[in-house]
């Protein structure tokens, strides 16, 4: 649960877009985990109708 709190706290105090946050998180994961590669593709969904 504290991880979710940390995420919301970070989002409240950053100017990064959700896609940029995702990109950074996946880059960090790729550097730490042998099962995660650095070929990252982020698909964004349209939220307006």
Closest CA to 18 of 36, 48, 44: 44
The DSSP call for residue 42 is -
Instruction: Read off the pLDDT of residues 8-45 as tens digits, 9 standing for 90 and up.
Output: 777 777 788 888 888 888 888 888 888 878 888 888 88
pTM of the model: 0.61
What is the model's pLDDT at position 24? Answer: 86
Distance of CA 41 to the CA centre of its chain: 12
- Triad 9, 15, 11: Cα angle to 5°: 20
Residue 1 has pLDDT above 60, yes or no: no
């Amino acid at each position: 649960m504290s991880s979710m709190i940390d995420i919301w706290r970070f989002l409240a105090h950053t100017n990064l877009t959700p896609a940029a946050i995702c990109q950074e998180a996946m880059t960090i994961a790729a550097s730490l985990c042998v099962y995660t590669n650095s070929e990252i593709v982020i698909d964004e969904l349209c939220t307006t109708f």
